[in-house]
Amino acid sequence: MNPLDAHLLPPGLRARIVPGVNGLAVHVLEAGEAGRPCILLLHGFPELAFSWRKVMPALAEAGYHVVAPDLRGYGRTTGWTAGYDEPLAPFQMLNMVRDQLALLDAMGIAQVHLLAGHDYGSPVAAWCALIRPDVFRRVALMSSPFAGPPARNPPRGENVHAGLAALDPPRKHYQWYYAERRAAGDMDNPPQGLHAFLRAYYHHKSADWPGNQPFPLSGWTAGELAKLPDYYVMPLRATMPEAVAPFLPPGEAPWLTDAELAVYAAEYARTGFAGGLQSYRCNTGGANAADLVLFAGRRIEVPAIFLAGASDWGIHQFPGALARMQAEACADFRGAHLIPGAGHWVQQEQPERVVARLLAFAAPASAK
């Protein structure tokens, strides 16, 4: 697999393949000189290392070596398979942490000055920082709050999925849909075409859609979850392409041009979505919790912040997680920052404000 062509990247970014990474050949984007303090950026779903393109040059100009990989299951990183009946172990959280440590070893980086993760990259970053604080010295969690390790004996609540299905109109949670056998095929071959599907999906979760006016939910109940938009709590019988199709905007967004969207569409047309969906299956099926419960009671000890778009429902999709992150999960929490003018894709919608927050949180680049 070749790295992304240079003409697809902003000036100052370079792409390469790093072999020998926990069984993977990892596609990375880089900016800044090797040997400088490292900033490691982990993307979410359905994104790529490419989602960091707007913040990497400015972070490099501030004196950092900035690295953004395509995670296992995504983009031009190879060495993974994602058949529905294949073992999930390679996509479980502890192995995702192992991927990041192996990447650093392969690149000759002993320590990460600042680790930032967005969307699914946020819990990966959180677990990296919790398990190896000696390597990951500070962490910025973005758009997905980290509520801490699972409890050894979690309380039993209502069967929220049965409750959602019983609503009028009936609904279902998108993460459980993503864990279904059909989900990858639904998104690999959307009836409206891949470009239009992704355009609608990204728009629907951005600040551009006026319906994104989030507020806290009181609990993990069907009645409260039903207040979330359709891209989180979907119509029961809809596929994700069907759920977002009514929200296709009339044209491109200033923060995501058609040329930029074409990069995502081309990569997902080649790989499909199954690799990214495997991580959802690890969560909803309990595979992650079976390992992570061993860390019950542990906290992130390194300095931590949270960044999200002010129009991002993702900060409230798991009721109480935002508060638990600040009060319990992080021992040295330095603040939650909700960025105006951004929805879920905060580093793409408002890159300058994200850069300013990250640089204010980071120690001087000269500090190791």
pLDDT band (50, 70, 90) for residue 152: confident
Q: Is residue 368 part of a domain?
A: no
Q: Are residues 311 and 233 in the same domain?
A: no
The span from the CA of 290 to the CA of 292, in Å, is 6
Q: What is the CATH number of the domain that holds 79?
A: 3.40.50.1820
Q: Are strands 38-42 and 139-142 parallel, antiparallel or unpaired?
A: unpaired
Judge whether 329 lies within some domain.
Answer: yes
Q: How far is Cα 52 from Cα 29, in angstroms, rounded to an integer? A: 9
> What end-to-end distance do the CA atoms of the chain give, in Å?
34
pLDDT of residue 363: 79
Same domain? 141 vs 20: yes
Same domain, 188 and 118: no
Q: Kindly report the average pLDDT of the chain as a whole number.
A: 96
One domain, residues 42 and 121: yes
166 and 304 share one domain = no
Residue 367 lies in a domain: no
Answer with the one of 274, 304, 338 that is the final residue of a domain: 274
- 10 Å CB burial of residue 153 (0-12, 13-18, 19+) is exposed
**Cα 62–chain centre separation:** 24
Same domain, 227 and 357: no
356: containing domain? 6-153+295-361
Tell me whether residue 366 is in a domain: no
Residues known to be catalytic: 119, 344
Binning pLDDT at 50, 70 and 90, where does residue 366 land?
Answer: low
* Residue 288 falls inside a structural domain: no
The reported pLDDT for the residue numbered 153 is 81
| Count of the separate structural domains present in the chain | 2
Same domain for 118 and 57?
yes
Do 300 and 324 share a structural domain?
yes
DSSP character string of 150-173: PPSSPPP---HHHHHHTSSS-EEE
d(CA 2, CA 10): 18
20 and 145 both lie in a single domain = yes
Q: Is there a contact between 205 and 308 (Cβ–Cβ < 8 Å)?
A: no
Dmax over Cα atoms in the chain, in whole Å?
A: 58
Identify whether 283 is part of a domain.
no
67-106 per-position pLDDT tens digit: 999 999 999 999 999 999 999 999 999 999 999 999 999 9
Q: What percent of the chain has pLDDT over 90?
A: 96
| Residue 124 sits in the same domain as residue 256 | no
Residue 285 counted as domain residue: no
Determine, yes or no, domain membership for 281.
no
pLDDT per position as a tens digit, 234-270:
999 999 999 999 999 999 999 999 999 999 999 999 9
For residue 368, how far is the Cα from the chain centroid? 27
Is the CB of residue 342 less than 8 Å from the CB of residue 352?
Answer: no
**Do 46 and 138 sit in the same domain of this protein?**
yes
- In a shared domain, residues 131 and 169: no
Beta carbons of 340 and 332 less than 8 angstroms apart? no
